[in-house]
Amino acid sequence: MLAGEAIGKAAGQGTGPGGAARATPPPVAPDPGTAGVSLVPDNRAAFALRVLSARAAARTLDLQYYTWNVDATGALLAREALRAADRGVRVRLLLDDLYVRGHERDLAALVEHPSVEVRLYNPFRVRSWGAFGAAIDFMLASYRLNHRMHNKAWIADGRLFVGGGRNIGDEYFGAASQFNFRDLDLVVEGEAAAQAAGHFDRYWTSVRVRPVEALADAAARRRSLRAAGGLDDLRRRLEAVAEGAAGSDHLARLEAGPDLAGLLAENRVLVPTERVRIAADPPRKGLGRRRAPGLLSEVRAAVAAAGREVLIVSPYFVPGRRGARLLASLVRRGVRVSVVTNSLAATDVLAVHGGYARRRRRLLRAGIELRELKRGGQEGASLLGSGGNASLHTKAFCVDGELAFVGSFNFDPRSAHLNTEMGAFVRHPAVAGQLREEVARLTDPARSWAVRLDGAGRLAWSDGGAEGPLRGEPETTLTRRVLARVLGWLPIEPYL
């Protein structure tokens, strides 16, 4: 459904001259004053949504990401963006520079297209000496370079916004062979999506953002590119990746999926526009003496206003002293507070788990419910027939069954003070109900452990199995447990 001929079936279309995809008719827009909102937990649907919206774009495609991997799904989505540019769509790609190093060649090839622009957030300046140059750059400008752009936004025509926790790469769409993420997108259709477009424009024109061709050695790279084929060579490589993915037995078995309008309609909730707020940190977050209020203040205010229940999903949960006090104060007021995060077995960042584990007992004593996701296998059918373990990557919370938030914001110091973040607040019981269903799925005993304190104050993990509560971090090696413990002792919490 998502590559080569199969992707054409999913879109209900073929390809135009030269292999460029013909634009699909745009989906029916919500009525004025109304936003279409939906949650997308399924990996294949999330990938199809991006492909089909790129094919439906008529004017602009604005793409903002922390990471865009050079793998099968990354190549397929780059191909769709390039095909949109071939139709005259203005494509703007804004990437954080942390993971760009080594891929300047492809980005310089992209900007040879007259309809494609690429800019980098907070770029490294020493680019010619590989990892050694990056290390020198970081030593000389660590304060500046420690602030990264963690935002994720896929915006078509300023009328369709896809945001949440997913970056672009195989592991975010269930296509990696060894390790995949459980993630969640929130889609906004209609006038409300213009809020995301406004945030994108503020970043695009920020002093912290530079065009890829303005990098110190960009001119030399572009000269070597033209000798090697440049944009034409990049097209050939993208098409080769697409052909390889289309040959997957798993993709070959997929039947035609819905068009974009059908895909959007599956879980759409119509919400008054004024009840949808897409928020983002200022591009200069964390720098300068005057710090503009950012997403942290809005998240904190929303959680503090809870009257009955707060459900939090955060793969990297390090609330810090102030955050822990806030959650404990809610429990004392009679508010149920439940947190879903990664277990030590499932996490991909041991240092973060070490920071979380330091406060785990205090959180439990305060009455906060903790659930830790197991290191589960791939759920359902994966995009490329892959398997492997799965780790939580969703960042979301729900307040009183009325307010839902989905975005890039983790409950940790890095999201609070260092990285720029974004997300969408939706005040509607049906959307909040969809999020509560996702939380219920994650907290099912088959997928997560309930962490409690026993009568002696010791940690115990339980999933309702016949063997009873387990002691020690379940499904982990001694080495992993020791490393997490040691990292938890180090004074690095502000950087987690």
152 is catalytic: yes
Q: Which of 9, 400, 417, 463 is catalytic?
A: 400
285 is catalytic: no
The torsion angles phi and psi of 463, rounded to 5 degrees, stand at -125, 20
Identify which of 183, 184, 185, 188 has the alpha carbon closest to the alpha carbon of residue 156.
188
Return the number of other C-beta atoms located less than 10 Å from residue 486's C-beta. Answer: 12
* DSSP three-state, residue 101: coil
Q: Which of 42, 62, 86, 157 is catalytic?
A: 157
Q: Which of 113, 199, 374, 393 is catalytic?
A: 393
Distance CA 1, CA 5 (A): 8
Contacts of 58 (CB under 8 A, 6+ apart): 23, 26, 89, 157
Give the burial class of 341: count Cβ atoms within 10 A of its Cβ; 0-12 exposed, 13-18 middle, 19 or more buried: buried
Pairing of β 376-377 and β 276-280: unpaired
Contacts of 297 (CB under 8 A, 6+ apart): none
Count of alpha carbons within 13 angstroms of residue 13, beta-carbon side: 16
Distance CA 416, CA 397 (A): 15
150 is catalytic: yes
86 is catalytic: no
250 is catalytic: no
Identify which of 375, 406, 379 has the alpha carbon closest to the alpha carbon of residue 313.
406
* DSSP three-state, residue 7: helix
Return the number of other C-beta atoms located less than 10 Å from residue 292's C-beta. Answer: 11
DSSP track, 298-317? HHHHHHHT-SSEEEEE-SS-
Count of alpha carbons within 13 angstroms of residue 379, beta-carbon side: 18
Q: Which of 62, 97, 147, 150 is catalytic?
A: 150
User: What phi-psi label fits residue 16: left (phi over 0), alpha (psi between -120 and 50 degrees) or beta?
Assistant: beta
Distance CA 156, CA 138 (A): 35
Contacts of 142 (CB under 8 A, 6+ apart): none
Structure tokens belonging to residue 366: 């305060």
Pairing of β 376-377 and β 60-65: unpaired
Distance CA 203, CA 211 (A): 12
Structure tokens belonging to residue 131: 């990892």
Count of alpha carbons within 13 angstroms of residue 53, beta-carbon side: 27
* DSSP three-state, residue 58: coil
Count of alpha carbons within 13 angstroms of residue 116, beta-carbon side: 23
Q: Which of 147, 152, 199, 374 is catalytic?
A: 152
Catalytic residues: 150, 152, 157, 393, 395, 400
